[in-house]
Structure 1
Amino acid sequence: MVEGRVMETGPELRGIVRRFTPNWFAVTMGTGGLALVLRQVPGAGLDAPALALWLLATVLFAVFSVLYAARWILFPREAARILAHPVMSMFLGTIPMGLTTVANGFLAFGPGLIGAAALPVALTLWAISAALALACGLGVPYLMFTRQEHGLERMTAVWLLPLVAAEVAAAGAAGLAPHLAGGAAAAMVIGGYVLWALSVPLAMSVLALLFLRLALHRLPEAEVGPSAWLTLGPIGTGALGLLLLGEAAPAAFAGGPLAAAGGAAFGLGILGGLVLWGYGLWWLGLALLKTARYLRSGLPFSLAWWAFTFPLAVFTLATLALGRLTGLGAFDLGGTLLAWLLAGLWLIVATRTARGALRGTLFFSPCLAGAPR
């Protein structure tokens, strides 16, 4: 992400395609995440800007998908270099996470736009995103073990990206379950718990390693400073997944062999969500301290700044869900404050990203370092 930038002369669009990398999908994650947050802020009445942001995220995801597919078609050898890159390969996980955000938006905003067709669209997009999340969650670590060079001193929180995609899909499954009937709803909730289990324990082990890396080797360079916020991703999404799956389980399991488990799942969702939320507070505080230190010494802008948005978005959604399910106003207030912080960060990052994209300074691929032109 911060290694040698390879710029290229020639046709503008062709150059953009050649240098297009999957970390652009983080833009759709942050934008779509903010849309879902604004829609849930209690009493704010922000449905219109939330819808506009989700539509923007959907359009951007479609454009980015075309550009990245074109890179694999036109420059397959160069595109394949990402598989051996120890940093950029992690961003393959942003593709299914961005798609899950779009799918969730079809549930939240789609019925008002396309009616009953929104549900099958959301279900199809979620199924694709879940399959991609599983592929990233297993495939990228396998590449780490077999083709890439890593060291503890070079480790950053970007290691979390391919792992977290499955738990983002798990939270999406929880949102879909109430719209399904009978056995399909129960299967969706069970599948959500499996996706959660395929992600959260691994992500927690990475966080333990990250703590060790920071203690032994201190903070990484400023160029990857925003990655400190990525630690909120698995914690916030893990809490959100438990809360939403627990909320959906009683109705999904009613009348079936798992009926007795529905109430237990609801209680587990509340307790597990609270524990993970409290754990996330520590990493949120650390991210704020680290960012303040980086800002004092200079924090260069790059697409890495989108790490300020989506992890905070899912932590905010978990906070608001706790407020709704526990009835405690403190969570509503905290979620509202976090939502406004997220909106401010998104505005800063989006403005600078648009400026960099128009100037062409953000289109570069570290994987092309040393590649023949």
Structure 2
Amino acid sequence: MPRPFTRLHEPWAFVRHFTPNWFAMTMGTGVVALVLAALPWDFPARLWLAETVWVLALLLFGLFTLLFVARLLLFRDTVRPMLEHPVQSMFLGAIPMGLVPIINGLPMFLGEAAVPLAHVLWWLDVVLALGVAFGVPYLMFTRQQHALERLTGVWLLPIVAPGVAAGAAGLLAPQLPVAAAQLMVIVGYVLWGLSLSLAVGLITLVLLRLALHKLPDTDFAATSWLPLGPLATGCLGLLTLGQAAPHAWQGTPLAGMAELAQQLGLVGGLALWGAGLWWLVAASLFTHHYIRRELPFNLGWWGFTFPLGVFTLATLALYRQFGVELFGLFGVLLAVKLALIWQLVLRRTLQGLWHGELFRAPCLATQACR
């Protein structure tokens, strides 16, 4: 068996070249755990398998956090190139999004005792998500170089992070005291509106770019799936926040509005699910087009997992709330597809990790950036 890191191009490259792209692995792994737990039909060891995958996501997030902090502290000369890089900086949004499946899984797998910890971590996630959602676009407008022909769905990553946190708010709020739940639901709706409004505008630009300049290069094949993410998180956020609203305002003058929010969540969720269905089909066709050619593996392949996983969660949520068997069956089919893609991308990642070839930060690719 070959020695590990045989293709590591410089000592400590796994720290110096550690990029926020790695947190997309936590996103994809964490969402697989949540999908397994949400499946409507049971099978032997389903919950055990879901918890095992969630623990893996937790360990990965902890490891990646240590490596990323080590890069920031030990190789401070790499921070500015990372922030000014027009692609690598976008993946800063993967950090708060990678934390959300960990937060959602705490009460799910560890019980009520973990709710206070999940509550604290959710507020930390909100701070991180807002910092990325405001900070990265500011760098785009002031420091980075962009062009329409180079636009891809990766632009969505920083602004989707608040929307992912909004969906988590709807799941966590019913487990909190009323006062805390009220504040969480209010902030959740603000995050949802902030994220989805910007995402819709960017998705429009992505459609324009596709019409004018066709599909991106094979290195960016997975970015075709990224517009599915904000539509799916928007759907899931409306559903979960709508379900949490009656608990948050029970016995108050706003109880009627909370019931309305629950009903609007169902209608709005269906509408956003329909928009997501279009992107699901379109992205599948784009991927079929790409696989006719050789697809070089990179960490961007994890973009195949999280959008599909969140759309699967939204589909299963619609099944639970409407009771329509078609949603349940479709959700299970999506879950099977997600599991197959996840194991493929995980295997390729482990191969690249073993050889050390994945530790090449794009912003450090030229001597001028070193």
Per the normalisation by structure 1, the TM-score is 0.95
- Aligned partner (choices 16, 19, 22) of residue 21 of structure 1: 19
Residue number in structure 2 paired with 1:96: 96
DSSP-derived class of the 1:109 partner: helix
- Structure 1 range deviating more: 236-245 or 186-195: 186-195
Residue deviations 1:111-143 (CA, integer Å, cap 9, x gap): 1xxx61x11111111111111000001110000
Residue number in structure 2 paired with 1:338: 334
| Number of residue pairs the alignment of both structures matches | 361
Q: How does 1:80-119 map to 2 (within 5 A)?
A: 80-111=80-111, 116=113, 118-119=114-115
Residue number in structure 1 paired with 2:120: 124
Amino acid corresponding to residue 193 of structure 1 in structure 2: Y
Amino acid corresponding to residue 175 of structure 2 in structure 1: H
Query: CA 1:266–1:239 in 2, change beyond 3 Å: closer, same or farther?
Result: same
Asked if 1 retains the 8 angstrom alpha-carbon contact of 2:13 and 2:360, the reply is no
Asked if 1 retains the 8 angstrom alpha-carbon contact of 2:129 and 2:161, the reply is yes
> Which blocks of at least 5 consecutive residues in structure 1 are unaligned?
1-5
Residue number in structure 2 paired with 1:315: 311
CA distance in 2, matches of 1:85, 1:19: 13
Deviation at 1:338, TM superposition (A): 0.4
Is structure 2 residue 281 aligned with structure 1 residue 285?
Answer: yes
Amino acid corresponding to residue 288 of structure 1 in structure 2: S
Residue number in structure 1 paired with 2:31: 33
Residue number in structure 2 paired with 1:8: 9
Deviation at 1:7, TM superposition (A): 6.0
Name the % identity: 53
Asked if 1 retains the 8 angstrom alpha-carbon contact of 2:178 and 2:247, the reply is no
CA distance in 2, matches of 1:90, 1:54: 25
CA distance in 1, matches of 2:57, 2:217: 30
Residue number in structure 2 paired with 1:3: none
CA distance in 2, matches of 1:251, 1:73: 44
Kindly report structure 1 stretches of 4+ aligned residues shifted beyond 6 Å: none
Deviation at 1:36, TM superposition (A): 0.1
- Aligned partner (choices 174, 179, 192) of residue 175 of structure 2: 179
Per the normalisation by structure 2, the TM-score is 0.96
Amino acid corresponding to residue 66 of structure 2 in structure 1: V
Residue deviations 1:188-227 (CA, integer Å, cap 9, x gap): 1111101101100100100000000000011110110111
CA distance in 2, matches of 1:255, 1:230: 41
DSSP-derived class of the 1:198 partner: helix
CA distance in 1, matches of 2:317, 2:306: 16
DSSP-derived class of the 2:268 partner: helix
CA distance in 2, matches of 1:232, 1:99: 20
Residue deviations 1:230-272 (CA, integer Å, cap 9, x gap): 1111000000000000111112111123211111101111000
Is structure 2 residue 58 aligned with structure 1 residue 62?
Answer: no
